[in-house]
């Protein structure tokens, strides 16, 4: 709980600083004071949201310890805040290629894998465009052919993706599946605020090891891509397409097929893309 306590402390500090600036907003430099107060209150809300996630995850871990079953996933707490069970975090590099991902449940993981295999979807659009992306029902298939149909098979009808933005680049995207409407009630946290919280947890003072622990790294996919590139005499983009095509044809994940290439000697050829 130490990280949660630290986040609560930083939230309180920001709130106190915001109050001081607001008290001086009627004097000289009032506009700047008011702007600073608003920024500090947003920062406080993000620290508080981080503390909430960390505390909730700590409680789930305490309940799970010593019992059968998989370790609780940190992203489950993120999904809970949007009234759903399914959410993913995708981390990308400077070239926007996927480096890692974390999912709250099997549905979220399957949806993320589908987008990675097809090379298009809401997370990809959110990271490339730097803006919130959403779709519902038939709009999903019109916007992302193949992806919408795949989501329907998973029982998902709505998706929202928002980029994780640092001061210099896009780090990835948060994707939420079937978020529940709150009607006239305000959400506990907005999509943009949650994206900012996760960005802090990846880079900042609220860094959360449990979030990193729950990530699936794409190292084996990159290694397999290099091997197929050499075997087939093609570029890495084409090699990755071959791996994705084999995975799609077999109904397996791209990571599973990549692991077979690296560890079991599976060989694929240019015919797999046909």
- For the chain, which residues make up each domain, given as ranges? 2-64, 74-216, 219-273
Write out the two tokens for 90.
């995708």
- Transcribe 29-91 into DSSP letters: THHHHHHHHHHHHHHHHHHHHHHHHHHHHHHHHHHHTTSSSPPPPHHHHHHHHTTSSEEEEEE
Once rounded to an integer, what is the mean pLDDT over residues 5-16? Answer: 90
pLDDT at position 127, please? 95
pLDDT at position 186, please? 64
**Residue 7 in contact with residue 54, Cβ under 8 Å?**
yes
Gyration radius of the chain over CA positions: 21
Record: fold of 74-216: Beta-Lactamase (3.30.450)
pLDDT at position 269, please? 74
**Phi, psi values for residue 52, rounded to 5°:** -60, -45
Confidence of residue 66 (pLDDT cuts 50, 70, 90): confident
Check pLDDT > 80 for residue 204.
no
pLDDT at position 184, please? 64
Compute the distance between CA of residue 101 and CA of residue 99 in angstroms, rounded to an integer: 7
Once rounded to an integer, what is the mean pLDDT over residues 253-268? Answer: 84
For the chain, the straight-line distance linking the first and the last C-alpha, in angstroms and rounded, comes to 52
Confidence of residue 141 (pLDDT cuts 50, 70, 90): very high
């Amino acid at each position: 709980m130490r990280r949660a306590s630290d986040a609560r402390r930083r939230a309180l500090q920001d709130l106190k600083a915001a109050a001081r600036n607001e008290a001086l907003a009627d004097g000289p430099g009032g506009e700047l004071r008011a702007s600073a107060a608003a920024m500090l209150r947003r920062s406080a809300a993000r620290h508080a949201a981080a503390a909430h996630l960390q505390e909730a995850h700590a409680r789930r871990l305490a309940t799970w310890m010593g019992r059968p079953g998989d370790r609780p996933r940190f992203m489950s707490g993120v999904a809970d805040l949007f009234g759903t069970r399914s959410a993913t975090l995708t981390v990308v590099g400077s070239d926007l290629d996927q480096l890692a991902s974390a999912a709250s449940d099997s549905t979220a993981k399957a949806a993320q894998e589908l987008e990675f295999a097809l090379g298009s979807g809401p997370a990809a659009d959110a990271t490339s465009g730097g803006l919130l992306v959403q779709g519902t029902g038939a709009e999903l298939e019109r916007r992302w052919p193949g992806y919408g149909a795949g989501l329907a098979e998973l029982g998902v009808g709505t998706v929202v993706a928002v980029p994780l933005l640092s001061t210099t680049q896009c780090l990835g995207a948060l994707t939420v599946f079937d978020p529940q409407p709150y009607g006239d009630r305000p959400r506990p946290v907005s999509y943009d605020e949650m994206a900012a919280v996760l960005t802090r947890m990846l880079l900042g003072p609220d860094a959360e090891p449990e979030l990193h622990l729950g990530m699936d790294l794409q190292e084996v996919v990159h290694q397999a891509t290099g091997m197929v590139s050499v075997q087939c005499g093609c570029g890495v983009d084409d090699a990755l397409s071959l791996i994705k095509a084999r995975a799609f044809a077999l109904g397996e994940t791209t990571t599973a097929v990549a692991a077979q290439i690296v560890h079991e000697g599976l060989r694929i050829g240019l015919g797999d893309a046909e």
